[in-house]
Amino acid sequence: MLIAANTGIILRKLEFADKKRLAQLANNKKIWDNVRDYFPYPYTKKDATEFIESCRKEDPEITFAVVFNNELVGVAGLVLQTDIYKNTAEIGYWIGEEYWNKGIATQAVRLLVSYGFENLKLHRIFTGVFEYNKASQKVLEKCGFVHEGTSKKSITKNNAIIDEYRYGIVIE
């Protein structure tokens, strides 16, 4: 379990008891609009169960429930890279809409970055953000990520071709 002191924010292992709440939060088109298409929409309890099952098999643990004031509010995780990228990971996260603009994503990202660098001994964490997702860009910048470049017209989402903003953070 990872705890952000005095914030009420915890990252913990997903539990099967989270299934109903996970499905409620994730079944939101506004969330789906900002994540990759393999994230199901509509998002069902069956999707939640399958996701939790896959997370429970992780070793090391890299996907976490984001908990705020003892309530599941989202998910954050790392995708460990392989081969010549083996000391890096891609970060991903989403927070339920009713919890947007409360600083939760920022604290969750900070916790996950610390975990990646300290526990997993990563040297770099990166991600891509859709050009219109200004809130996520601000979260990353607050957490020390640097805008490394823009991949022009590299994403197709909702039948629109858009830019992807690439962000990264390295341990010095």
pLDDT of residue 107: 96
The three-state secondary structure class of 10 is: strand
pLDDT value at position 4?
Answer: 62
Q: So what's the pLDDT on residue 7?
A: 77
Domain boundaries 2-170, CATH class: alpha beta
What is the structure's pLDDT at 8? Answer: 86
Going from the C-alpha of 55 to that of each of 29, 59, 153, the distances in angstroms are 23, 9, 32
SS3 126: strand
Query: Tens digit of pLDDT for each residue in 114-137?
Result: 999 999 999 999 999 999 999 999
- What is the model's pTM? 0.95
d(CA 147, CA 167): 5
The domain locations on the chain are 2-170
d(CA 143, CA 53): 30
Can you tell me which residue has the tokens 């991600």? 127
pLDDT of 67 reads 97
Q: Is 112 exposed, middle or buried (0-12, 13-18, 19+ CB in 10 A)?
A: buried
Rg (the chain; Cα; Å): 15
Q: Which residue stretches of the chain have pLDDT < 70?
A: 2, 4-6
- d(CA 62, CA 97) in angstroms, rounded, equals 23
Instruction: Please report, for residues 74, 75, 100, 169, the alpha-carbon distance to residue 61 in angstroms, rounded to integers and kept in the order given.
Output: 16, 13, 25, 20
Reported as a single tens digit per residue, the pLDDT across 91-104 is 999 999 999 999 99
